[in-house]
Amino acid sequence: MIFASDNWAGASEKVMAALAEQAKRGGPAYGDDLLTKLVERRFAEIFERKVAVFFVATGTAANALSLAAYSQPGAVAFCHREAHVIADEPGSAELFGGVRLIGLPGEAGKIATETLERALARFPEGNAHHGRPVAITLSELTELGAAYTPAEIGALTAVAKRRGLRVHMDGARFASAVAGLDVSPADLTWRAGVDILSFGGTKNGCLAAEAVIFFEPADANGFALARQRAGHTFSKSWFVAAQLDAYLDHGHWLDLAGGANATARRLADAIATSPEARLVREPDGNEVFVILSKALDHRLRAAGAVYHPWSVESLAEEERPAADEVLIRLIASFSTAGEDVDRFAAVVAGTRDQKSVIGNQ
Amino acid sequence: MIFASDNWAGASEKVMAALAEQAKRGGPAYGDDLLTKLVERRFAEIFERKVAVFFVATGTAANALSLAAYSQPGAVAFCHREAHVIADEPGSAELFGGVRLIGLPGEAGKIATETLERALARFPEGNAHHGRPVAITLSELTELGAAYTPAEIGALTAVAKRRGLRVHMDGARFASAVAGLDVSPADLTWRAGVDILSFGGTKNGCLAAEAVIFFEPADANGFALARQRAGHTFSKSWFVAAQLDAYLDHGHWLDLAGGANATARRLADAIATSPEARLVREPDGNEVFVILSKALDHRLRAAGAVYHPWSVESLAEEERPAADEVLIRLIASFSTAGEDVDRFAAVVAGTRDQKSVIGNQ
Amino acid sequence: MIFASDNWAGASEKVMAALAEQAKRGGPAYGDDLLTKLVERRFAEIFERKVAVFFVATGTAANALSLAAYSQPGAVAFCHREAHVIADEPGSAELFGGVRLIGLPGEAGKIATETLERALARFPEGNAHHGRPVAITLSELTELGAAYTPAEIGALTAVAKRRGLRVHMDGARFASAVAGLDVSPADLTWRAGVDILSFGGTKNGCLAAEAVIFFEPADANGFALARQRAGHTFSKSWFVAAQLDAYLDHGHWLDLAGGANATARRLADAIATSPEARLVREPDGNEVFVILSKALDHRLRAAGAVYHPWSVESLAEEERPAADEVLIRLIASFSTAGEDVDRFAAVVAGTRDQKSVIGNQ
Amino acid sequence: MIFASDNWAGASEKVMAALAEQAKRGGPAYGDDLLTKLVERRFAEIFERKVAVFFVATGTAANALSLAAYSQPGAVAFCHREAHVIADEPGSAELFGGVRLIGLPGEAGKIATETLERALARFPEGNAHHGRPVAITLSELTELGAAYTPAEIGALTAVAKRRGLRVHMDGARFASAVAGLDVSPADLTWRAGVDILSFGGTKNGCLAAEAVIFFEPADANGFALARQRAGHTFSKSWFVAAQLDAYLDHGHWLDLAGGANATARRLADAIATSPEARLVREPDGNEVFVILSKALDHRLRAAGAVYHPWSVESLAEEERPAADEVLIRLIASFSTAGEDVDRFAAVVAGTRDQKSVIGNQ
């Protein structure tokens, strides 16, 4: 019953098979191999335009190098104050790009347009004394499991573009958002004003497969060396390419994400029926935020469920748990076993099955 | 006939099998998995002491983060002027640690003790106006394929330690050196005064498996966050651990390196018999530097051999190729096919077989 | 009628006389001169303990280098969200120390202890995944002209020290605070838990005289080279020393600050009597924050008064100006002319004098 | 008898008088004052073209920020291996711009065109794997007191421009070079291909007056914030402007430099007549490099002469001092007393006067 994170999962069989096949052959180093080119073409098809693609080792690297691509001395970038880039990537944007991050409040991990406008007002145009706003970064999914719609993204990017800011999307769970919203990847990104995307595969069936995708390839000038400097140019580039080639093939990535989302839905449904728990909000993807009684929390953990408590500061004052409650995060992955969900539901429901499960531990 | 680099090779079957097995299971993120702990223990056995081990994505990251671990404002580190760290890792040591690199000359890619002493003399003790020497970094193998002996390393580290410098070893081809010298890993590192090692697996049968090894674990305090900041903390740490677990098991790493070294030896032997080519020096590992006639170079390339020309500035004036000659580098990997070596030797020898090979291309 | 900033003022006669005298002689470069040593001794007397003193060119440099002195990879430092270090020093702390700044809310530009505690709670001890809190920085005066009392400082530093954080004070207007509170410099700093001080002279009668003062000289190890690297080691160090020698002599610095504070008091008194204006709060030093009618604002500017509007986001919602009002900042310096204050008061009072003044412009 | 450095001198009377006058008045902060604009116009006249001018605190800052202005990730800049920027500014170019410096050999502190070409050959065009050459930096005067002629500069910049590199000049002693060569500032800089100049006033009669001068003002876009980030934006900008206004007025800067050069010439003449000493080369400006017997060195120091020994590695093997000799550097400043030169000459000549001087010490 592992609901701790989707990065606790293994890798999809299809992805591993492709990797094993390529590993027999190897190929030219540093991205000069055929498979790397093929993956670039796949991304172009998926996003319905020419793109520039760069593999990196982690989502942190993807985010920080993305922001750095648009940085200048005194650069400032805006993110949600819960965003991974500010909450879990300590010093990365600063190191790679000298970018100062400003965290903004907002419900469900989303930034509202007025909030962005107010933040920008502190940096009057033509007066760089306070810093130079260069970018905003949006998480899709957000850190509270919500998905920005294309319209929401478009509204935010419009505010950003009026001030000449570039727009980055942290797509660690991009697949989950696309599958959840059932929109095209293009509509969710460049057609809504996104300039650069951290495209994550690791949390959804790959071993380590993260890519920076420039929707305006000319912006990528200089990025190859920035990546090399950061130690993120894999010599065996095909090892990422082989994963992504299989991952993107015939919509495998969306199948995996759709599966995880459905599992999350089932977890949410189990919660919805319980008098001891409530959803913070309906899940848009594979993450479920739940306020539950300490008693239920105890029973779940005793039954072997693994998940993380979450900071109540993510919620508005009125949403926060009572004294005998806790806020937790449940994450489903492509490989979460159906029977684990059954067991979870049984514990939540307080049925006999659950007790027997404990006995069998 | 690929002799371009050992990073053009695939991965060893044993390594891939272990990885595929673990990928079915996954595990706790960020290094909290069992396999990561096991690999740390394996390294302790191999090096005959407690060590602190950190996986990173690339050798560049390993080197730059290693040097950064001992850096301070105004820090200066010394390397051979052909070293990968200065010749192929542009800006990395500066980015991660603010370390200024000073390249020193030296035969066969090695730094001589007198050269180091002379370089240090420009930084008088107690006067930091010119910078603060903090470290030397040695490549084992060197960039000209030579292996420092434990005695040579000890002599250099003694000079360094007298001035309070730390010693880093770039072990991108550490396995090749250990196999070639037939010494213990401990004798080649900490017993000879090495403080920190970039241990490379990628060039010798892994997909992407590089580790920073601190021989004094207390020095590693703070490194975990430095690595995270640099985007080099894999969430699925077990994906590196699974590779290294198999790689280190029952001396697999040395078997692979021994095989590559033997192949390099065969390439060198083929050269040694030719009137059109000569070895720059006897290989200590899996790299062979050769000066050959342009005619032979042409025949080899026509026959399908792939290898890199090399900069003549690596050699002393008197060693350099004549006008009708070129300097090349041949690298053997664990997976170089014996028949490729046969074909190479046949072309060098100018026998009929070679012609028929061309005909069959 | 210049109330724009105290850095619009010239230099005190005594300071300039001392500088002119020393400029005839010159002296050994890079701080080896006698005067630099004398100033270090003066600071030791003023702070009643041994200190390490380093001159730098600007307050921004003093702040960023101070924070850098206690930094590590992934470092986080807390400041008020209006603090100069975060609002007006874009990218400096990041550049010099890789420090990520987190801005906290708080009345009158002060951080409350509970606010700091809540912020620290996001960084659980023993888990550096979110970053490593290393320091807090307090502005004395704050950016809203308030002075922390020694007791307030002590309460904040106690919270910080429990978590091992170091405490920096941005003393761009330290003289004004000392004069306003009538406390000893030692009580306001190290005795209250401050580790390092940006001591500003520029805003109070010097040309360019800023110093970083370490209250624990051992902490300063390495700082000289950090300063040199940043280009902040003046070769003619005596040019700062001469200014500070005169500035600190016989309490000249406090006389200057006391004068400016008294002038600010007179400005505040003029406001207090007006039906068209009100003080945001009583001034503690030489800064006066005022909400006044747009009509009065217009009359003052027409009469030649120069001052800056201020961001209403500095104030709590309920304190903010109404639609026909504006928030402004008035700053008095050591050299603000008494007659300028008289004219200002006359315009505020709407007396005839004011009209004639306009006529004479 | 201070010949240690020109940065041991005081300030010129004219410069100090102008500063004292302005200090009575003050002015708008951060460069919005009239005097700062006037100085920008003066530079435009002197260089016979529109320029963008930025004051900074030190020559180190001027150099590092200049190089940073043309930097990119993986940037490499070439300098002479004795250049101040690499020998005395530890980590600065790396900190401000991520620039890796490569030191090149060359007689008299000058880089030869072939040397630059050879260095560039290690960075093949279209292959950034080894780094991205972005700039060269020339010292005028060089660190061995020589002046590049406009023709020499033009030849070097032609090589650089063919590869798209920008050209920086470290003009810490620019005045001395202009006075010594008797050429126009324009001919020595932009007409010969220089893009950006560190213009130094501190060593030639100012207190602290260094400026970065862009010959192509469009290149300066973004520099203001880079300077602010580095803590090099003086609030009382007029304090530098006042110095430079007087310094540049009616050729005062060249009068001061001409005087220092003439003094250096007299020191060189004194050496030339001695059997115990010889010039390393004829001085082009205000620096004299001398090899003298240890006996004479001892007599000079006993008589009160202050100067620095110099590293013999600056010289070719065949130029170096013998075992009983030392290499020293003598520097004359605008304020070096004629009688100090007389005394120096007398000690060198071994005349009675010298003995009596010792007796009077």
Q: What is the pLDDT of residues C159-197, one digit of tens each?
A: 999 999 999 999 999 999 999 999 999 999 999 999 999
Edge-first strand order for the sheet with D277-279 is D277-279, D287-293, D325-331, D308-309
CATH class (in words) of the domain with range D253-360: alpha beta
* Residue segments in chain D with a per-residue pLDDT below the cut of 50: 352-361
* Residue C244: DSSP 8-state: H
Cis peptide bond prior to C188, omega within 30° of 0:
no
Residue whose entry in the numeric block shows the structure tokens 């899940």: A283
Asked if the Cβ–Cβ distance from B88 to D311 is below 8 Å, we say no
> According to the model, what pLDDT value does residue D313 have?
86
B119 and B83 Cβ atoms separated by less than 8 Å: no
Q: Which residues contact D345 (CB under 8 A, 6 or more apart)?
A: D266, D267, D269, D270
DSSP reduced 3-state for B270: helix
* Mean per-residue pLDDT of chain B: 95
**Which of C32, C71, C72 should we substitute to test contact with B (largest number of B Cβ atoms within 10 Å)?**
C72
Tokens 């007298």 — which residue?
B162
- Closest C-alpha to C235, from D4, A34, B131: D4
Q: Do B130 and D91 touch (CB under 8 A)?
A: no
More confident of the two residues C55 and C312: C55
Report the chain B residue with the minimal C-alpha distance to residue C73. Answer: B226
Quote the tokens at residue C166.
Answer: 């170091």
Please check the confidence at residue B354 and state whether its pLDDT lies above 60: no
| B187 burial level (CB within 10 Å; 0-12, 13-18, 19+) | middle
Beta strands in A130-285 (DSSP E): 132-139, 166-171, 196-200, 210-214, 277-279
- Shortest Cα–Cα distance, A200 to chain C (Å): 20
C117–A contact, CB cutoff 8 A: no
Tens-binned pLDDT, residue by residue, of chain A (361 aa): 999 999 999 999 999 999 999 999 999 999 999 999 999 999 999 999 999 999 999 999 999 999 999 999 999 999 999 999 999 999 999 999 999 999 999 999 999 999 999 999 999 988 888 999 999 999 999 999 999 999 999 999 999 999 999 999 999 999 999 999 999 999 999 999 999 999 999 999 999 999 999 999 999 999 999 999 999 999 999 999 999 999 999 999 999 999 999 999 999 999 999 999 999 999 999 999 999 999 999 999 999 999 999 999 889 989 999 999 999 999 999 999 999 999 999 999 997 444 444 434 3
> Closest Cα to residue B176, out of B139, B214, B202, B147?
B147
Interatomic CA distance for residues C2 and C332, integer angstroms: 8
Chosen for mutation from A235, A238, A243 (greatest number of chain B CBs closer than 10 Å) is: A235
Nearest CA in chain B to D87: B130
Q: What is the pLDDT of residue D280?
A: 96
**CA atoms within 13 Å, Cβ hemisphere of D196:** 27
**Number of CB pairs, chain C paired with chain D, less than 8 A apart:** 157
| Contact pairs from chain B to chain C, CB under 8 Å | 38
> Best of C7, C15, C25 to disrupt the D interface by mutation (most D CBs within 10 Å)?
C7
Contact between chains at D73 and A129 (C-beta distance less than 8 A): no
CATH 3.50.50.60 fits A257-360, yes or no: no
Report pLDDT for A267.
98
Distances (CA, A) of D272 to D58, D258, D276, D320, D351: 35, 21, 9, 17, 16
Judging contacts by C-beta atoms under 8 Å, the chain C residues touching residue D59 are 231, 235
Dihedral sign from CA coordinates of A351, A354, A359, A360: positive
Decide if B90 and D74 are in contact by the 8 Å CB cutoff: yes
SS3 for D27?
coil
Neighboring chain A residues of B201 at a CB cutoff of 8 Å: none
Nearest CA in chain A to D72: A222
C132 touches chain B (CB under 8 A): yes
Contacts of C62 in chain D (CB under 8 A): 231
**Candidates C128, C132, C222; nearest CB to B73:** C222
Portion of chain B with pLDDT greater than 70, in percent: 97
Record: contact B90-D98, CB cut-off 8 A:
no
Write out chain D residues lying below 8 Å of A73, CB-based: 68, 222, 225-226, 229
| Chain A residue with minimum CA distance to C122 | A311
A230–B92 C-beta distance less than 8 A: yes
The residue ranges of every structural domain in chain B are 12-252, 255-360
Contact indicator for C225, B72 with CB cutoff of 8 Å:
yes
Overall CATH class of domain C13-252: alpha beta
pLDDT for the residue numbered D157: 98
pLDDT of C201 > 70? The answer is: yes
Average pLDDT over residues C78-94: 97
Query: Chain B neighbours among C 23-52 (CB < 8 Å)?
Result: 30
CA distance A200 to A190: 17
CA distance B229 to chain C (A): 6
For testing the chain D interface, which of A30, A67, A127, A129 should be mutated: the one with the most D CBs within 10 Å? A129
Q: Under CATH, which number does the domain A12-252 receive?
A: 3.40.640.10
Is the whole-model pTM more than 0.90? yes
Selected residue of C207, C335, C340 to mutate for chain D interface (largest D Cβ count, 10 A) = C207
Query: Within an 8 Å CB–CB cutoff, is residue B336 touching chain A?
Result: no
> Which chains sit next to C, with 3 or more Cβ pairs under 8 A?
A, B, D
Closest CA to C285 of C86, C137, C148: C148
CATH of B255-360, one of 3.40.1710.10, 3.40.1190.20, 3.90.1150.10, 3.30.470.20: 3.90.1150.10
Does D253-360 match D13-250 at the fold level? no
CB contact under 8 A, D231 and C65: yes
Q: Which two tokens stand for residue C181?
A: 């509170």
> Which residue of A57, A207, A233 is in closest CB contact with B232?
A57
CA-nearest residue to D75 within chain A is: A225
Are the Cβ atoms of A73 and D226 closer than 8 angstroms?
yes
Query: Residue A353 has what pLDDT?
Result: 47
D24 contacts C231? CB cut-off 8 A: no
Contact across the interface for A95 and B229, Cβ inside 8 Å: yes
pLDDT in tens, B169-221: 999 999 999 999 999 999 999 999 999 999 999 999 999 999 999 999 999 99
Q: What pLDDT is stored for residue C356 in this prediction? A: 44
What integer best gives the mean pLDDT of chain C? 95
Mutate to test the interface with C, among A100, A122, A314 (most CBs of C within 10 A): A100
B73 contacts chain D (CB < 8 A): yes
Instruction: Report the gap between the CA of A12 and the closest CA in chain B (Å).
Output: 8
What's the rounded mean pLDDT across residues B11-21?
A: 98
The reply to whether residue C132 touches residue A88, judged by beta carbons under 8 angstroms, is: no
Query: Does residue C176 contact residue C262 with C-beta atoms inside 8 Å?
Result: no
Q: What is the dihedral of CA A223, A226, A228, A230, to 10 degrees?
A: -140
pLDDT of amino acid C342: 97
- Chain-chain contact of A94 with C98 (C-beta, under 8 angstroms): yes
What's the rounded Cα separation, in Å, for the pair C119 and C117?
5
Q: d(Cα A129, Cα A63) in Å, to the nearest integer?
A: 26
pLDDT at B129: 87
Per-residue b or e along B291-315, where b marks 16 or more CB atoms closer than 10 Å to that residue's CB: bbbeebbebbeebbbebeebeebbb
Query: How far away is chain B from the Cα of C127, in angstroms, using its nearest Cα?
Result: 10
Q: Do C228 and B72 touch (CB under 8 A)?
A: no
CB pair distance less than 8 Å for A10 and B23: yes
Interfacial A residues in 221-240 facing B (CB < 8 Å): 225, 228-236, 239
* C-alpha triplet D150, D152, D155: angle, nearest 5°: 105
Cβ contact, residue pair C228, B129, below 8 Å: yes
Spatial neighbors of D337 by CB under 8 A, at least 6 apart, are none
pLDDT per position as a tens digit, C54-74 = 999 999 999 999 999 999 999
The architecture CATH gives domain D13-250: 3-Layer(aba) Sandwich (3.40)
| Closest CB from B29, B56, B208 relative to A236 | B208
Question: With the CA atoms of C340, C341, C346 and C352 taken in that order, what torsion angle do they form, in degrees rounded to the nearest 10?
Answer: -30
CA distance A58 to chain C (A): 15
Is A112 touching B (CB cutoff 8 A)? no
